Amino acid sequence: MELVVSELGVARGGVRVLEGLSFWLSAGQALIVRGPNGSGKTTLLRVLAGLQPAVAGTVSMAPDCVAYAAHADGLKVQLSVAENLMFWARLHAVHDIGPALEAFDLIDLQDRRAGALSAGQKRRLGLARLLVTARPLWVLDEPTVSLDSLAVARFAAAVEAHLRSGGMAVIATHLDLGLSAGRVLDVAQFRATRPVDGSLDEAFL
Ligand SMILES: Nc1ncnc2c1ncn2[C@@H]1O[C@H](COP(=O)(O)OP(=O)(O)OP(=O)(O)O)[C@@H](O)[C@H]1O
């Protein structure tokens, strides 16, 4: 399996942000996306995840191959930690939430209502969902926000395990996660030179 991105152009709010962006990833590889604030990292990830269309170019992988973790954790606050994971697991026909609880140190919190978790605990639960999606490409937007150093290490270990099992990851992060198979892409070099674009780019927010 391979992710091939060719001559991609992306826009936000009718303004072109990036153009001419190409890269590829093979099974077992990760791409770390860097760039200054407002340079288009989130917009690129949204296009990869199928949340909005590209304005130019192609992405080889269909959105249903992608597990996307945005800035927001997207949790069901009335459900417990375990119920949140079971909800996502059922949706993806995954039967065992045990490895996800274990990987993100959530076993002791599994009966706690998600709305009553701390910010870092919520983030751990949001990331644990990745492990119950069984999707090959993880697209992650600043996944380590609110995580302490131990949780960052656990997250990096989960990504490494995903890569070892043939998965891929595209991660916007300012941290060095120490991934063995991680390349860095700085989106600043792909800043659009013709920024105004009249087309509708928002499938939904
Ligand atoms: N909802 C929105 N509507 C219109 N424009 C937006 C919206 N969100 C972001 N933008 C603009 O799109 C451009 C790219 O933003 P984007 O969020 O992709 O950058 P980023 O590199 O992820 O930034 P950061 O590092 O601050 O998270 C910026 O100029 C930003 O102001």
Report if residue 9 sits inside a domain: no
Which structural domain range is residue 86 located in?
Answer: 27-52+61-184
Q: Do residues 23 and 81 make contact, with C-beta atoms less than 8 angstroms apart?
A: no
Report if residue 22 sits inside a domain: no
Report if residue 126 sits inside a domain: yes
Rg, Å, the chain Cα set: 17
Task: Kindly give the number of the ligand 1 atom that is closest to the alpha carbon of 13.
Answer: 4
Query: Would you say the CB of residue 122 lies under 6 angstroms from ligand 1?
Result: no
What is the predicted pLDDT for the residue at 71?
81
What is the predicted pLDDT for the residue at 176?
87
Low-confidence ranges of the chain (pLDDT < 70): 195-205
- pTM comes to 0.92
Query: Would you say the CB of residue 39 lies under 6 angstroms from ligand 1?
Result: yes
Task: Say which CATH number the domain at 131 has.
Answer: 3.40.50.300
**47 alpha carbon – ligand 1 mean position (Å):** 13
Span 158-169, pLDDT tens digits: 999 999 999 999
Ligand 1, atom 10, residue with closest C-alpha: 12
Q: Which residues contact 165 (CB under 8 A, 6 or more apart)?
A: none
Report if residue 3 sits inside a domain: no
Cα-flanking dihedrals φ and ψ of residue 15, to 5°? -115, 125
What is the predicted pLDDT for the residue at 205?
46
The CA–CA distances, whole Å, from 153 to 131, 147, 148, 160 equal 16, 9, 9, 10
What is the predicted pLDDT for the residue at 197?
55
**11 alpha carbon – ligand 1 mean position (Å):** 9
Report if residue 82 sits inside a domain: yes
What is the predicted pLDDT for the residue at 200?
54
- Tell me the residue length of the chain: 205
